[in-house]
Structure 1
Amino acid sequence: MSDHSDGMRYLDGKANEAGKLIVNDYQCSRLTGGVMLSLKKPFVSDIRVNYEKYFYKNNGVPRPSEKDKIVVEFMTRF
């Protein structure tokens, strides 16, 4: 357990009553749409193309990995 497990606020390892909670995990919703193409020869293969749209409440600032994106995935089975 770290020294933060007791619920106190700390600054540089010392208790700090004026400390503020930094919120960096904003509430969001996601809508995903896409298509999948399946091929039978020479192996069973799938190609997926998805678009992910993120919606944030209260003007949240998303991380780079949680922004609108296009995802392309290739899977094959032998």
Structure 2
Amino acid sequence: MKTQHYTVPCALLLIALCLFIRYSIGRRRFNRRGVAGLQQFSSYHHFITVTTIEKIILIAGNLCGLAGLFLLAVAGINHLKF
């Protein structure tokens, strides 16, 4: 099967993308923290906008990670099966 050769690199790419997204958003959240340890925003509107966008991107990143793990599992099963 020709598609098997692309399964593992695509899976690793999806997992790397997941880790990069989680790292980037975590870093942004860390840099927004003040002395008291709370995230600081300039306005309530900015808070709602940024946190909503970050949540959507985090969900997409987590889905990429799950898809990558699923592809690795499928590749492993196909490798053992044939």
TM-score band (shorter)?
under 0.3
Which of these two proteins has the greater Rg computed from alpha carbons?
Answer: 1
Higher relative contact order (CA closer than 8 Å, sequence separation 6+)? 2
TM-score normalised to structure 1 length:
0.25
Structure number having the greater strand percentage: 1
Structure number having the greater helix percentage: 2
